[in-house]
Amino acid sequence: MFILIKMGMRNIFRHKKRSVFLGLSIAISAAIFILADAFAGGVRSVIVNQVIGTVNGHVNIVFGKNGSMHQSVIPAGERIREIIGMPGPDILDIQEHISVMAKTVGKSRSDNVMLTGIIPDNGDDKGFSSNIKVVKGGLDRLFDGQASSPAVVSEDKAEFLGLCVGDEIPVKFYDVNMHYQAARLTVVGIFRPNNFFVGGHIFVPLDTLKRMMRYRPFDIGRLNIRVKKPLRNAVAIADSLHRALRPRVVAIDTRVDGGLSVSVLGVVNSAIEKEKTGGPLQVNTETRMAIAEGAGAISKPLAVRLGVTVGDTISLVYEMRGSEEIGIYRFPVGSTYEAFGTSEYTALISQSAFYELLWEQHPPKTSITRWENEQCAHAEEIFCREWKRLERCETEDEMRSQELRIMKKGEKSILIGVRSMYENAGAILLMTSLLHYVSVVIVAVLFILICVGLISTVQMEIRERTREIGMMRAVGMLRSEVVILLVVEKLFLAACAIAVAMVVSYLMIQILGMLRLDIEGPVSMILLDGRLFFMPNLQTAIWFLLSVVCYVLIATWLPARAAAKIKPAESIMHYE
């Protein structure tokens, strides 16, 4: 076997022109494939991790109210964070994201901008700072506390507005209560964006923006979640969070003047409209009619304890979240009902009244109502839950249709939706997939052309070497040894060509990755710090290279086997 390998290597150098032509064909095909696959992988990595991950998150938890998903705030920050818990092994971080459209006036002209809140980078994990390059001032000045409302502006935006470091700019915007607000920001830095999508933003500290937009301590904005291997894990994590955010029946904790605790529940509209509500929990017709007319209902034990009858007005006192003051809620008693659930002292009000109370400037404290197992599912059909969980969507079009339905319906409850990057950035991901498929098609066409040329070259070479094969058979070489010799020649040639292709493609990746491209517009989002980014996929490259080796093996073995079957005498007499 060693002699055959030595003879095969020697034969490669005996036929230099043919070997060089065949080797270059294999090397060029392999190099183009490695470059194309690395470029497509780099573009996908930049878009998924830098554009989508740091700007929008791989998974989002969004909130809405009053039929709109654009008021992304919910007065249940502690509850949401309690449900989500600590980030799992596949989650990089969970960040609150707040952004609002604003009108600003510079020295020379005015413009519309996006005010976006950011937090400092977490150690070696460069989040926001990986998308910008500070050219004037410093990013650390955003968080040093020297300016009351610091901000950093993009280089193009600063030039358009005529701004310099140290200037103050007025901004006007709508807060979470849809009140028009005005503020003044101090420019502490000017940056050059590495990401097309951050160029039109003015970035301020998240705490500053929450204060400017009148967020309360218990309010929470949209949550952006970055995950490991997002192409594989984003949907699974979104589905897991969606299951965890299953809403529970919530009660408002109140008391009467004597200190008696009373749980106030809201009755959903669908339960009021039904003629009969079956199951373990009963809401009689009289109670439903009273709630529909704007009155409330109380349990019979509570009515007896307070000495209240139908037509009287009851006053309930509750503690406000975020304030030391107390609130008072009054309603006329329109009906009484038999006690149910775990508490004898309960009151029922309409869905609209219940959620209006929850959305006050200082809402009341609430608690999750506990039911028996057989009552739990039925209670969720009758009473108001802490929020309404939107169904998961699979595509961006489904998400837009869902938002239109919510807007037309004018949903009054608090809305929560969990979305992955496939719904939020489906068009961008589709573009990266198309780029990958185009590169695969191009390489496939090249591979087919190389294969056709390889077959022709091998067949021609073996025909020209028929006399040589006959001489080797005449001196005692076996048929199997002839086949092995020819196969070893081509495999060694393919291995050398692949090695050259890997070296050349690596050098090309390094050279192209050092070139700075002055590209503006949406195309710039495929660049990382103004340069092309390549990410070779070792698994794909090995699969392709093994395919080349296997094809060379098959393309050589078949004609070599046929040539080895020719009788030595006929082979020696062959003339080409």
Q: How far is CA 373 from the centre of its chain?
A: 36
* Average pLDDT of span 390-405: 87
Whether 2 has a pLDDT exceeding 70, the answer reads no
Whether the per-residue pLDDT at 375 is higher than 60: the answer is no
DSSP state of 128: G
The pLDDT value recorded for residue 126 is 57
- Residue 276 pLDDT: 45
Confidence class of residue 332 from pLDDT cuts 50, 70 and 90? very high
For residues 203 and 153, what is the distance between their CA atoms, to the nearest angstrom? 7
Contacts (Cβ under 8 Å, ≥6 apart) of 194: 50, 130, 131, 132, 133, 527, 528, 529, 530
pTM of the predicted structure, to 2 decimals: 0.78
- Find all residues with CB under 8 Å of 96, minimum gap 6, and list them: 117, 206, 220, 221, 222, 223, 224
Q: What's residue 13's pLDDT? A: 62
Q: Which of 404, 399, 443, 439 is nearest to 422 (CA)?
A: 399
User: What is the spatial distance between Cα 335 and Cα 272, in angstroms, rounded to a whole number?
Assistant: 14
pLDDT tens across 68-123, in order? 776 678 878 888 888 887 777 888 888 888 988 999 987 778 889 989 998 887 65
Residue 279 has pLDDT above 70, yes or no: no
Choice among 124-138, 233-247, 390-404 with the minimum mean pLDDT = 124-138
Mean pLDDT across the stretch 14-29? 77
Give, for 108, the enclosing helix (H) or strand (E): none
Beta-sheet pairing, 168-174 with 99-105: antiparallel
Query: What tokens appear for 300 in the block?
Result: 């019979």
Dihedral angle, C-alpha 375, 378, 380, 382, nearest 10 °: -120
**Which of 53-62, 207-216, 516-525 has the least mean pLDDT?**
516-525
Percentage of residues of the chain with pLDDT beyond 70: 88
Strand 250-255 with 261-267, pairing: antiparallel
Is 60 exceeded by the pLDDT of residue 124? no
> Can you tell me the distance from the alpha carbon of 189 to that of 166, in angstroms, rounded to the nearest whole number?
8
Q: Supply 470's token pair.
A: 């006959």
* Between 10 and 398, the higher pLDDT residue: 398
Residues paired with 220 in a beta bridge:
74
**What Cα–Cα distance (Å) separates residue 245 from each residue in 279, 384, 386, 441?**
25, 15, 10, 43
Q: To which H or E segment does residue 72 belong?
A: none
Distance CA 302, CA 337 (A): 10
pLDDT value for 243: 92
Q: What is the rounded CA–CA span in Å between residue 246 and residue 566?
A: 77
> At 267, phi and psi to the nearest 5?
-100, 125
Section 471-483 average pLDDT: 75
Rounded to whole angstroms, the Cα distance separating 171 from 112 reads 9
The span from the CA of 207 to the CA of 198, in Å, is 20
Distance, in Å, from the CA atom of 205 to the CA atom of 120, rounded to the nearest integer, reads 8
Q: Give the model confidence (pLDDT) of 420-471 as tens digits.
A: 998 888 777 887 778 778 777 877 777 777 777 777 777 777 777 777 777 7
DSSP letter, residue 294: T
* pLDDT above 50 (res 277): no
Alpha helices (H) along 410-533: 421-424, 426-464, 466-474, 479-514
HEC string for 141-188: HHCCCCCCCEEEEEHHHHHHHCCCCCCEEEEEEECCCCCEEEEEEEEE
pLDDT: is 49 or 575 the higher one? 49
Burial class (CB in 10 A: 0-12, 13-18, 19+), 284: middle
Other Cβ atoms closer than 10 A to 26: 26
* Residue 280 DSSP SS3: coil
DSSP for 3-63 reads HHHHHHHHHHHHSHHHHHHHHHHHHHHHHHHHHHHHHHHHHHHIIIIIIIIIII-SEEEEE
Six token digits for residue 187: 């420019």
For residues 310-331, average pLDDT: 85
pLDDT for position 274? 60
How crowded is residue 234: how many other Cβ atoms within 10 Å of its Cβ? Answer: 27
Does the pLDDT at position 172 exceed 90?
yes
Closest CA to 157 of 101, 204, 113, 203: 113
- Residue closest to 65 by CA, chosen among 225, 216, 177: 177
